[in-house]
C-alpha cells in the first residue's frame, strides 16, 4: 500500500505541468528571443556578400521593435565591416546587411546580438557565425571598345567548366577605351585537374570585345595541381629516428657506449 502511495505522488508531480496547461501540452517559452544569421560560410579575401539577419520572439512580437548590433573578430580587419553594423529599421525583425571580408585568409567570427524591446524593456540573444576567408582564384581579362560609339551597361558573364560563377555589369566604356575586368572564383579545396574558364560579353554589335581574343568570348585553361602530402616525409623521419634510437640502444647494451 505504501509503495502504491509513493508511486501515485510521483505520478502527480510528473503530470502537474500538463494539468496546469489548459491546452494539455507543455508550451515553449514564447518570450524567448531567437536570432539567425543566414549567408555564406566561405568568402574570398576582399569580397562582399549579403547576409540576412532575423530576430524573433520576445516583447517585440507584441507590438514592440527588433534591433541588432554586430561585431567582427579576426586579424587585420582594417577593410572589414558589416554594413549597417547596427539597425532598427527591419520590418518584423528581418534585416539585410553586407559583409566586406578582410584581405587576408583566416577564419573570422561575426557576432550579432539581437534585441526584442517594448516600452523601454528589452531582452537580447547573441549568435556567433564563423566565416572562413580564403584566397579566391582570380580571372582577369581586358575588354576594349573598337566601335564608333560609347557603350553603356555591358554585361559580362564568367563560367568555370560551364557553370556561371559571376555576372558583372560595366556601366560605361568609351570609344577606343580599354579596361581590365576581374572575377573571383571562391571555392574551398577544389578537385585537382583541368578547368576551362569562359568569359562572355553579352552585348552584341557594339564593337566591345576581349582584347586577348578579339571577340566577345575569351576562353582560358588552367590546372589545379594535387597538393603533395607531407605524410611520406614525416614517416621517413619517424623511421630514421627510430633506427637511430635502436642503434644507440644496441651499442649501449653491447658496452660500446
User: Which tens digit of pLDDT belongs to each residue from 218-237?
Assistant: 999 999 888 665 455 555 56
Asked if residue 182 and residue 156 are part of one domain, the reply reads yes
In a domain, 216, yes or no: yes
Asked if residue 37 and residue 130 are part of one domain, the reply reads yes
In a domain, 232, yes or no: no
Asked if residue 36 and residue 122 are part of one domain, the reply reads yes
- Evaluate if residue 144 carries a pLDDT over 90: yes
Asked if residue 145 and residue 123 are part of one domain, the reply reads no
Return the pLDDT at 234.
54
Q: Which letter does DSSP use for residue 61 in this model? A: G
pLDDT, greater one: 214 or 11: 214
Q: Which letter does DSSP use for residue 212 in this model? A: T
pLDDT band at 103 (very low <50, low <70, confident <90, very high): very high
Asked if residue 121 and residue 211 are part of one domain, the reply reads no
For the record, the C-alpha cell of 223 comes out as 590546372
pLDDT, greater one: 135 or 237: 135
Domain containing 168 — which CATH number?
A: 2.60.40.10
Return the pLDDT at 87.
93
In a domain, 255, yes or no: no
In a domain, 117, yes or no: yes
- Evaluate if residue 130 carries a pLDDT over 50: yes
Asked if residue 130 and residue 141 are part of one domain, the reply reads no
Kindly state the average pLDDT of the residues 100-108.
96
| Domain coverage including residue 149 | 137-224
For the record, the C-alpha cell of 107 comes out as 577564419
Q: Structurally, how many domains does the chain consist of?
A: 2
Closest to 131 (Cα-Cα) out of 47, 67, 224, 33: 47
Return the pLDDT at 200.
96
Rounded CA gap, 193 and 17, in Å? 61
Amino acid at each position: 500500500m505504501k509503495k502504491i502511495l509513493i508511486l501515485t505522488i510521483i505520478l502527480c508531480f510528473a503530470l502537474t505541468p500538463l494539468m496546469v496547461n489548459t491546452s494539455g501540452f507543455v508550451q515553449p517559452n514564447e518570450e524567448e528571443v531567437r536570432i539567425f544569421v543566414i549567408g555564406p560560410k566561405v568568402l574570398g579575401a576582399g569580397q562582399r556578400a549579403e547576409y540576412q539577419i532575423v530576430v524573433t520572439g520576445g516583447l517585440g512580437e507584441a507590438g514592440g521593435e527588433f534591433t541588432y548590433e554586430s561585431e567582427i573578430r579576426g586579424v587585420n580587419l582594417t577593410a572589414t565591416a558589416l554594413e549597417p553594423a547596427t539597425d532598427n529599421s527591419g520590418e518584423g525583425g528581418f534585416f539585410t546587411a553586407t559583409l566586406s571580408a578582410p584581405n587576408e585568409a583566416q577564419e573570422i567570427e561575426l557576432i550579432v546580438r539581437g534585441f526584442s524591446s517594448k516600452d523601454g524593456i528589452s531582452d537580447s540573444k547573441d549568435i556567433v557565425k564563423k566565416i572562413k576567408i580564403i584566397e579566391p582564384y582570380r580571372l582577369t581579362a581586358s575588354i576594349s571598345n573598337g566601335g564608333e560609339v560609347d557603350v553603356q551597361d555591358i554585361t559580362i558573364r564568367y563560367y568555370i567548366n560551364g557553370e556561371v560563377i559571376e555576372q558583372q555589369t560595366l556601366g560605361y566604356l568609351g570609344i577606343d577605351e580599354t579596361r581590365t575586368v576581374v572575377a573571383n572564383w571562391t571555392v574551398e579545396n577544389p578537385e585537382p585537374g583541368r578547368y576551362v574558364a569562359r568569359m562572355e560579353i553579352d552585348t552584341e554589335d557594339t564593337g566591345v570585345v576581349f582584347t586577348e581574343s578579339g571577340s566577345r568570348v575569351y576562353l582560358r585553361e588552367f590546372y589545379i595541381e594535387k597538393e603533395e602530402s607531407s605524410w611520406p616525409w614525416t614517416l621517413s623521419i619517424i623511421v630514421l629516428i627510430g633506427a637511430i634510437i635502436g642503434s644507440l640502444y644496441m651499442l649501449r647494451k653491447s658496452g660500446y657506449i
